Structure 1
Amino acid sequence: MAEKLKDPMVAWRRDFHRHPETGYEEFRTAGIVAKHLSRLGMEVAEGIGKTGVVGLLRGEQPGPTIGLRADMDALPIQDQKVVPYSSLTDGKAHLCGHDAHTSMLMGAAQLLAGIGRPKRGNIKFIFQPAEEGLAGAKAMMDDGVLQNPKVDAMAGLHVFPTLPTGRLTVCKGVSFAAADQLVIKIIGKGGHAARPHEGVDAITVAAQVISGLQHVASRLVDPLEPVVITIGKIQGGYMGAAIAPDVEMIGTVRTLTPSLRARMPEIIENVVSGVVSSFGAQYELNYFTGYPAVLNDESMVDLMTQTSEQLFQDKRWEYAKPSMGGEDFAYYSHSVPSVFFRLGISDGSAATGYPLHHPRFDLDENALPYGAAMLAAIALNFVSTSSLSYETK
């Protein structure tokens, strides 16, 4: 049934790809989604978490409720692909697959609406804004997306270019890392480039700080506890013949355990302070707590893997190591039993092999029916077999 929806899912995905919208600006995308859900006869709520959309397929009898989630936002990166569906908006592009996530969940909604109302329980289709660093999941939760009726479990997926098309991987327990933000300002003293001893070169100090931070994982943290510190943006200076008076660096810190996450601000500040003081510079450091780790519930993972084998009649899945990527699906997973799994989108070509967030990221659209079918089947299996408590609202 999902294969029969491949063409419309491809069309939706390419339309979203041409017209990307970043966090909390997904008005066009949300409008298309809302109209689709309404045409399917669902109860539809708009403006949840500002630009989120929720469709409700209510069962014939009271029962458990499962939420299926897709994120709708694009990235503030220029699309460098030369394809018929390249982004038409300068500086914005779907380079993380959220256009595919949205299209697959629209497909799953059409599949389930076509089958008819479940005998018991409810299925919520949660189309979420602002996953890319702006906590759209939390915004939707603050607006009550997990209530009325109360959501008993959540399921979602993310496309992965390192996996062949249609292959699935999943983790039990921690699945994606906690993701925090780091902003460091190095304050030196400007001057002429030909007389560096009269100034304090903030660029040189910043370079040493970056080098020092890369030693945190190798020398200051238990090697069995994964941590990633990446400085992704650095800005400072005026010209080649001038000593930069200050430099600002922005980065991310990824951890898998709450204990290490709690220690990271102090560890980082000790490194920055030691390096900066040795050069006679000063610094300002701001550490912002971001998304928590994604937690996969063991019973929900079992449901997902059993559903895969039932659906495809073979073992198309395998267990994987946790990803150091961050995901705001984490907020749902800390509130209700959840499963968040990965779907392969690579056909082996160079075009589908670029990593997430790369300016030329693309995917094999043959993966779309796999994702839609998995989401729909997980929902059907959950509402028909779950013994969780539920509300009758």
Structure 2
Amino acid sequence: MKTLQLHINDIENDIYQIRRQLHKYPELSGEETNTSELVKEKLTEYGISYEHGFAGTGVLGVIKGGKPGKTVALRADMDALPIQETNDHDFSSEVEGKMHACGHDAHTAMLLGTGYALKKIEEQIEGTVLLVFQPAEESSPIGGSGPMMEDGVFHEYKPDVIYGQHVWPGLPVGEMGIRDKEMMGASDRFTVKVTGRGGHASMPHEGNDAIIITNQMISSLQTIVSRNVNPLNSAVVTIGRIEGGDRYNVIPKEVSFEGTVRTYKPEVKEMIKKRFHTILNQTAEAFDAEVDIEYLDGYPATINTPAYAQQARKTAQRIFGENATPQVEPALAGEDFSRFLLDYPGAFIWLGTQIEQAAEQKPLHDPGFQLDEKALPMGSHFMAEVAIDTLKSLSSQGG
């Protein structure tokens, strides 16, 4: 709709300012009080009714169209990360140790822009559009989408389709990444404590070296992917942190390590989890040691519904051009939107936000992460258009 683009143009500066304000004052998972208040303030300003208090700080905006029809939900996450920003902008984070390094500030701003434009044409809308502002996306394994649903965010208005989008520094502005099925991976995490027997470095036979045992465990865990996972499937087992020992000449009694498991297929995830425990327990037994394992099942894989991924692609190509949706590979990063997709059909989309100096682009979760703000009105426009297109398609199906 040409009208939608005009309304996005009207709200463009507001989108930028909202994003910059949120970026300047980031709030971590579960702390999004001021962010939530800003969302409610803007929804009120735009004349959009809302409910709030879901998962603590979550907000649901409701736009009821002037014509009967189905319901489409659009989701944005709101939380920041415990990262110290290294960028030097006039809107750089002013909160020590906190930063919007994953673009959730942009997601929130874009969805507010989308809501503004849709509210302006609400009499033409065939059905209802829900604006889901979600807290705690970064708080794996619990997250915010599950608690929002448990709190009844969709109790009155149940979506027939749900969409989410994420800024993506690997794609230039004007392009969108859309896959028919696997989009992002399941993300489990683990913490392991190995207990041996301490001693003096000169008398290793009197101790039971937890470092040696841990080394054997970590090496063996890598065989899960190389020897147990079908090479045509995808999986990663990463050890991200090891801690142990006090002094160069002391054999440590305890060593701990932690890391993550990433997969797409549920059966691969379960096989890795089983082998993980078997390897660690049997290695500990072989070395006459003890092992304590904390294995947390995180977000499931983000798997798009083919029909709505195709609808999103069709919409993107219509408004941004036939070349706007290049073929992309899935990512094994985890995403809490996956839990919405377990209950409702829909699609998750990557919005190209690569900066003009592409060689200087930092990845998501980097303290120097930046995005090209020119993409933000485009993201708002896309979400508004895909909501309208999907509602029309659902109405035409007569179901």
> Does 1:80 pair with 2:90?
no
Q: Secondary structure at the match of 1:318?
A: coil
Structure 2 letter corresponding to 1:95: A
Corresponding residue for 1:338?
A: 346
* Cα gap change, 1:282 to 1:108, in 2 (>3 Å): same
Which of 1, 6, 17 aligns to 2:12? It is 6
| Closer, same or farther: CA 81–190 of 1 in aligned 2, 3 Å | farther
Q: Report the 3-state secondary structure (helix = DSSP H, G, I; strand = E; otherwise coil) of the residue aligned with 2:367.
A: coil
5+ residue gaps, structure 2: 1-5
1:221 aligns with 2:232: no
**Normalised by the size of structure 2, how large is the TM-score?**
0.92
1:29 aligns with 2:54: no
User: What displacement does 1:206 show?
Assistant: 2.4
- Corresponding letter in the other structure for 2:165: L
> Is the partner of 2:130 in helix, strand or coil?
strand
**1:166 and 1:205 mapped to 2: Cα distance?**
51
Deviations 1:259-303 (A, max 9, x none): 111212211122223443444432111222121111211110111
Q: Kindly state the Cα deviation for residue 5 of structure 1 after the two structures are TM-superposed.
A: 3.2
What's 2:3 paired with? none
Per the alignment, residue 122 of structure 2 pairs with 116
Instruction: Note the 1:286-365 alignment, pairs <5 A.
Output: 286-349=294-357, 353-365=361-373
Shift of 1:374: 0.7
Q: Separation in 2 of the partners of 1:83 and 1:267?
A: 47
Range moving further from structure 2, 309-318 or 376-385 = 309-318
1:50 aligns with 2:51: no
**Quick one: distance in 2 between partners of 1:285 and 1:74?**
29
Cα pair 1:352 1:364 within 8 Å, conserved: no
Aligned with 1:184: secondary structure? strand
- Tell whether 2:389 aligns with 1:381: yes
Matched-pair contact (CA < 8 Å) for 1:186–1:248: yes
**Cα distance in 2 between the residues matched to 1:285 and 1:195:** 29
Q: Does structure 1 retain, via aligned residues, the 8 Å contact 2:185–2:331?
A: yes
Query: Once the 2 structures are TM-superposed, how far is the Cα of residue 359 of structure 1 from its aligned partner?
Result: 1.8
What SS does the corresponding residue of 2:370 show, helix, strand or coil?
coil
CA contact (8 A) 1:294 1:327 kept: yes
Counterpart CA distance in 2 for 1:386 and 1:117 is 17
Paired with 1:268 and 1:360, the residues of 2 have a C-alpha distance of: 35
Alpha-carbon RMSD: 2.0
Task: State the SS of the aligned residue for 1:339.
Answer: strand
> Would the alpha carbon gap of residues 241 and 41 (structure 1) be closer, same or farther in structure 2, given more than 3 Å must change?
same
Matches of 1:207 and 1:259 in 2, distance apart? 28
**Post-superposition offset of 1:194:** 4.4
Amino acid at match of 1:25: E
- Report the Cα offset of residue 61 of structure 1: 2.8
User: 1:348: Cα distance to partner?
Assistant: 4.2
* Alignment check: 8 A CA contact 1:70 1:101 kept: yes
How far has the Cα of 1:110 moved from its partner?
Answer: 1.4
Deviations 1:210-252 (A, max 9, x none): 2322222112211111111122233333344433221222221
* AA at the equivalent of 2:136: A
1:264 aligns with 2:261: no
Indicate how the Cα distance of structure 1 residues 213 and 23 shifts in structure 2: closer, same or farther if over 3 A, else same. Answer: same
Q: CA deviation at 1:119?
A: 3.5
Going from structure 1 to structure 2, the CA distance change for 1:286 and 1:94 (only over 3 Å counts) comes to same
- Do 1:352 and 1:361's aligned partners in 2 also have CA atoms closer than 8 Å? no
TM-score (norm 1): 0.93
SS where residue 129 of structure 2 aligns? Answer: strand
Match of residue 252, structure 1, among 260, 263, 275: 260
**CA distance in 2: counterparts of 1:311 and 1:350, whole angstroms:** 24
- SS of the equivalent of 2:220 reads helix
Distance in 2 of aligned mates of 1:83 and 1:206:
44
Deviation of residue 147 (structure 1)? 3.0
Q: Give me the whole-angstrom Cα distance separating, in 2, the residues matched to 1:145 and 1:320.
A: 32
Q: For residues 40-74 of structure 1, what are the alpha-carbon distances to aligned partners after superposition, in whole Å with 9 as ceiling and x for unaligned?
A: 11111111121101110011232101000000011
Report the Cα distance in structure 1 between the residues aligned to 2:250 and 2:211, rounded to whole angstroms: 11
In 2, the alpha carbon distance for the partners of 1:208 and 1:80 equals 38
Aligned-partner SS, 1:317: coil
Q: Is the 8 A contact 2:197 2:253 kept in 1?
A: yes
Matches within 5 A, 1:99-114: 99-114=105-120
Distance in 2 of aligned mates of 1:14 and 1:235 = 38
Deviation sequence 1:318-359 (CA, Å, 0-9, x none): 232222111111111111111101111112426862111112
